[in-house]
Amino acid sequence: MKTKTIEYNDLVVRQFLIASVFWALVAMLIGVLIASQLAFHVLNFDTSWLTFGRLRPLHTNAAIFAFVGNMIFCGVYHSTQRLVRTRLASDFLSHLHFWGWQLIIVGAAITLPLGLSRGKEYAELIWPLNIGVVFIWVVFAINFFWTLAIRNEKSLYVAIWFYIATIITVAMLYITNHLQIPTSLLHSYPIFGGVQDALVQWWYGHNAVAFFLTTPILGIMYYYMPKAAERPVYSYRLSIVHFWSLVFVYIWAGPHHLLNTALPEWLQTLGMIFSVMLWAPSWGGMLNGLLTLRGAWNKVRTDPVLKFFAAGVTFYGMATFEGPLMAIRSVNAVSHYSDWTVGHVHGGTLGWNSFMAAGMFYWLAPRLWNTKLFSTKLADIHFWLGMLGILLYIASMWVSGITQGLMLNAVTPEGALAYPNFLEVVNSTQAMLRMRILGGVLFLVGMVLMAYNLYRTIRSGHPAVASIEVQVPEEPPKESLTLLGGFLNPPVIYSFLLVIFGAGWGFAQGMLSTISLVLLVETALIAMIHMGVSGQKWSEWYDKLLESWLPFTVLTFLAVAAGGMIQILPTVFIKQTAGADAPLQKVYTPLELAGRDIYVREGCYNCHSQMIRSLVGDVLRYGKSGRLTESVYDFPYQWGSKRTGPDLQRVGGKYPNIWHFQHMMDPRSTSIGSVMPNYPWLYTQVTDIPALSSKIRVLTSYGVPFPPRSPADIRQSCIDQGQRITEDLASGGIKISPDKEIIALIAYLQQLGKYDDPTAAPAASAAPDISAAPANQKQAKSH
């Protein structure tokens, strides 16, 4: 053995800390602005790049990937070096990671307000940036795993497990949900459409919350809470159970974002059950975090770090109680598409992510700059402002969301809608929307105080050089398990055979079932005798696994991939056009396709859904519930997740062209009390017809049956359809050129809910058929 001094690379840790604080302020400032826009529509300023639909994706992406992303990298790089007692493997990769990630964020900050969007929530960035994200994530992964490979500590602490799960699962989710074919340098279509796209999107969206906003923060909790409390985690065994439970359960719960929709029923049930199962591991983890403070509760009163951690973990418990509750189908009928979801999400991001970040930053900054925190008092004020802000925010969104859900679903004893005018619901929640702004402002002020406090702390110190002395063997130690040895060993092989024979016994018929039972018993006996004679213990494999990062990583990947694939594959292979009783979506004309891309560009999906649920309130208000076959040509799908405005799935033909024309110019002129922005630029900007050839070619390659057309035919088709709309508008005294974007958007909106078979086309709200609800479920069952 020889003694070696290890000097940690804390430069990159300091860089990520500063970047995280900066982007937090940006994300939350935009958050306050867009919250204000929902209460005061004039704050959209009639300016394209300042409208809600374009800024909301910027807010979510900045909060998730810029603020929390940088915070994760800061915590992971700092704690991993200490836990494995070695310096980060590569200074170059660390630099590349930091600057590459900031470049992507700047790219997003420029492109999203310009309307360059893929139209999928939390996955809006355009394809060149997607490639950048994957590249930088791979750089992160190489740097991290390389560091594990050269570590000077044999065991892997549970925080490292959470980091491993984060890295591999986010890579899998991100790549799958961003499979796409470009139509130009700045535009692409996802390869999945309709229900497939919806499922892949929410498999990604849900697990982005799980594996980007939760598991890495749990790793950070398991490292920094013991550190700050100066005592080990309450139960290390419980942390192991917490980890494996989350990994095995979380990945299955994605379909709860699509309850009561056209998604097959078995998937909805799967999502709901696994969501409810999440209660146990989440609360186990929360209690483990809180109980780590045993004997240190007096410090919580005076130490802002512990104060933030204790509150952050409590919010984790709250959010993870609320999430499964909202995933129960009957609760979801009220909460979905409403402000309740917004309140839930912010309980997690503000309460859990931001408070954990604040606790970590207040703990780290004095140590990274070798000084003391500038002001504990200021940190305390930050805490109470933040706490008050969160409570105002989520309480107002609960009230608003439950009000919306109840009013929109309310039916009179005669069977009619109790509140038929959607705007009545919008206006009833205005006071809550204003209270939400106050909550957001308070939270933002708290974050500004934190930024100032950290700035003064950094100014008062200097970058610290941290080091440790470690005893290292002359020869580099070997991993306890090789990749192959991790899986080809008696305990794993016997366990695998037992599961296979058990499944055969349970599910096979006749003789096969009997043979499986015999083999099951025989395998169990052989395993016991073999292990007994050879003196091997079943736990040996597990003990070695915990010291071997590569087999461990592969096992974690298999666990998350299995759950994901089971949800995704059956739906990818489904024949969506198979429903004999269901109308098939009409193929878009070139002008309608152009209009759809404008709809996506303006982020209309942020406020309007295109999925009528199989609920009485929905069917009465919007018409027959949505079917799988009605969005097969939608790349990307546009079912939405929030109804600030009404559902648009069957809006086609409901209003005349002139109504849409006036509505987009000034929504208040047709809908008194609307909070929708004005879209004046649609009346001056020209539709991008030349881009359509490439777009249609890509969609045709996906199987959309566009009739063969030359670029000249496409142009002519657009002009012809545009002229029909402008002639109709002219009869109402409006003169406009057919090549303007508003005409394309009207063409798109007017075809929503149109089908190839007119006899099967469901009527709009004029003649609702409530029987559609069970019919839809029957269709799903019949699959």
Partner 1 sequence: MFNQVEFASWSGLITLIAFLVSFSVFVTVVVGAMRCSKQKVRHLAEMPLGEEKRS
Q: Which of the ranges 77-85, 392-400, 424-432, 616-624 carries the binding residues for partner 1, by CB under 8 A?
A: 77-85
> What does each C-alpha distance from 181 to 57, 143, 702 come to in angstroms?
21, 30, 10
691-711: b (≥16 Cβ within 10 Å) or e: bbbebbebbeeeebebeebee
Residue range at the interface with partner 1 (CB under 8 A); choices 107-115, 340-348, 472-480, 537-545: 537-545
Choose which of 20, 177, 188, 571 interacts with partner 1 (CB under 8 A): 571
Q: Site residues for partner 1, window 674-703 (CB under 8 A)?
A: 702-703
CB of 370 to partner 1, least distance (A): 6
The residue range among 122-130, 187-195, 342-350, 404-412 that interacts with partner 1, by the rule CB under 8 A, is 187-195
Per CB under 8 A, does 632 bind partner 1?
A: yes
Residue 11 is a binding residue for partner 1 (CB under 8 A)? no
User: Which position among 31, 113, 264, 347 is part of the footprint of partner 1 (CB under 8 A)?
Assistant: 264
Which of the 8 DSSP states describes residue 534? H
Q: Give the interface segment with partner 1, choosing from 105-113, 137-145, 228-236, 650-658 (CB under 8 A).
A: 228-236
- The Cα 744–Cα 596 span in angstroms is 8
Residues paired with 76 in a beta bridge: none
User: Of the candidates 525, 542, 684, 774, which one interacts with partner 1 according to CB under 8 A?
Assistant: 542
Q: Is 193 in the site for partner 1 (CB under 8 A)?
A: yes
State which of residues 502, 653, 656, 680 lies at the interface with partner 1 (CB under 8 A).
502
Site string for partner 1, 452-491 (x = CB under 8 A): ------------xxxxx----------------------x
370 sits near partner 1 (criterion: CB under 8 A): yes
Shortest Cβ 28–partner 1 spacing (Å):
30
Contact between 578 and partner 1 (CB under 8 A)? yes
Which positions from 84 through 113 interact with partner 1, judged by CB under 8 A? 85
Beta bridge partners of 7: 467
Q: Which residue has the tokens 């403070």?
A: 293
Asked whether the beta carbons of 648 and 641 are under 8 A apart, the reply is: no
State both tokens at 768.
């609702």
Q: If binding is defined by CB under 8 A, does position 497 make contact with partner 1?
A: no
Q: Where are the alpha helices (DSSP H) in 327-421?
A: 329-335, 339-346, 355-368, 376-409
Among 312, 397, 325, 424, residue whose Cα is nearest residue 361? 312
The phi, psi pair for 211, rounded to 5°, reads -105, 0
Which of 216, 312, 563, 762 binds partner 1 (CB under 8 A)? It is 563
Within 8 A by CB and 6+ apart from 22, the residues are 451
Residue 12 is a binding residue for partner 1 (CB under 8 A): no
User: Least CB distance from residue 622 to partner 1, whole Å?
Assistant: 24
Q: How far is the CB of 573 from partner 1 (least distance, A)?
A: 5
Answer yes or no whether residue 550 interacts with partner 1 by CB under 8 A. no
Contact region for partner 1 (CB under 8 A) — 141-149, 439-447, 556-564, 762-770?
Answer: 556-564
Among 3, 539, 710, 759, binds partner 1 (CB under 8 A): 539
266 contacts partner 1 (rule: CB under 8 A): yes
Do 571 and 637 contact (CB within 8 A), yes or no?
no
The tokens of 673 are what? 């009390």
User: Which residue carries 């975090």 as its tokens?
Assistant: 289
Enumerate residues 6+ apart whose C-beta is below 8 A from 458. 18, 365, 369
Q: Is 274 exposed, middle or buried (0-12, 13-18, 19+ CB in 10 A)?
A: buried
Q: Which of 11, 29, 328, 498 binds partner 1 (CB under 8 A)?
A: 498
541: exposed, middle or buried (C-beta count within 10 Å: 0-12, 13-18, 19+)? buried
In the bound complex, what is the minimum distance in angstroms from residue 366's beta carbon to partner 1? 10
Please give, one letter per residue, the 3-state secondary structure of 630-699: HHCCCCCCCCCCECCCCCCCCCCCCCCHHHHHHHHHCHHHHCCCCCCCCCHHHHCCECCCCCHHHHHHHH
Site residue total, partner 1 (CB under 8 A)? 70
For 484, list phi and psi in degrees, rounded to 5.
-70, -45
Q: Computed over its alpha carbons, how large is the radius of gyration of the chain? A: 28
* CA 664, chain centre distance (Å): 30
Residue 227 binds partner 1, judged by CB under 8 A: yes
Q: Site residues for partner 1, window 268-327 (CB under 8 A)?
A: 270
Instruction: Tell me the closest approach of the beta carbon of residue 633 to partner 1, in angstroms.
Output: 9
Q: Does 196 bind partner 1 (CB under 8 A)?
A: yes
The residue from 90, 176, 184, 245 that contacts partner 1 (CB under 8 A) is 245
The yes or no reply on residue 365 touching partner 1 (CB under 8 A) is no
For the window 145-184, what string marks contact with partner 1 as x by the rule CB under 8 A?
Answer: --------x-x-xxx-------------------------
From 237, 301, 478, 735, residue interacting with partner 1 (rule: CB under 8 A): 237
Which residues fall within 8 angstroms of residue 615, CB to CB, at 6 or more apart? Answer: 260, 333, 409, 625, 773
Burial of 766 from C-beta contacts in 10 A (0-12 / 13-18 / 19+): exposed
Which residues contact partner 1 by CB under 8 A?
Answer: 8, 79, 82-83, 85, 153, 155, 157-159, 191-194, 196, 222-224, 226-227, 230-233, 236-237, 240-241, 244-245, 248, 264, 266, 270, 367, 370, 464-468, 491, 495, 498-499, 502-503, 507, 538-539, 542-543, 555, 559, 562-563, 566, 570-578, 632, 702-703, 783
